[in-house]
Amino acid sequence: MVGKSIKAVLNELLVDTFNDILTIEQSALKSGKLNDLSVTEVHTIDTIGMYNPRTMSEVAADLGITVGTLTTAINNLVKKGYVQRQRCEDDRRVVKIILTRKGKLAYRVHEKFHSDMIAATIEDLSEDEEKILTTALSKLNAFFTKKYLIKNQSEKE
């Protein structure tokens, strides 16, 4: 890193970290109990959540995808036994999705992966360094949200 500008170093770190997280997550899935799931499917399971049945529209909005795209993903997750559809008692036209026992296991495994990642990230940091890292990542997240997510939402409308 000697001789590189701070911007070049940050770019390299961000790109490498992002790619490494995706690769490690995919490898962890393929070598573990959840070897029939993709990272995208695990993130869908994570978005559905552990306890409360959710509508397809709610989950699709949280994922930033269309209900049609989510329907395809949910069909696959139902076939694999991770998700089930539930008709609403009040209005039988409304279908909600909920995790099965197998889906809840996948949720917990994914949550543990993220928990371990965060623990390793802050392991040797002081409290001040943790605050600085949190502030920097919050600013980066705000930039991406404002620049790309809001833009993508307005393009869909």
Architecture of domain 36-123 in CATH?
Orthogonal Bundle (1.10)
Secondary structure (H, E, C), 111-147: HHHHHHHHHHHHCCCCHHHHHHHHHHHHHHHHHHHHH
Domain ranges of the chain: 36-123, 124-157
Q: Helix (H, G, I), strand (E, B), or coil: what is residue 53?
A: coil
Within its chain, how far is the Cα of 156 from the centroid? 21
Q: Which of 87, 81, 101 is nearest to 55 (CA)?
A: 87
pLDDT digits (tens, 9 = 90+) for 14-49: 999 989 888 888 887 777 777 899 989 999 999 999
pTM for this predicted structure: 0.78
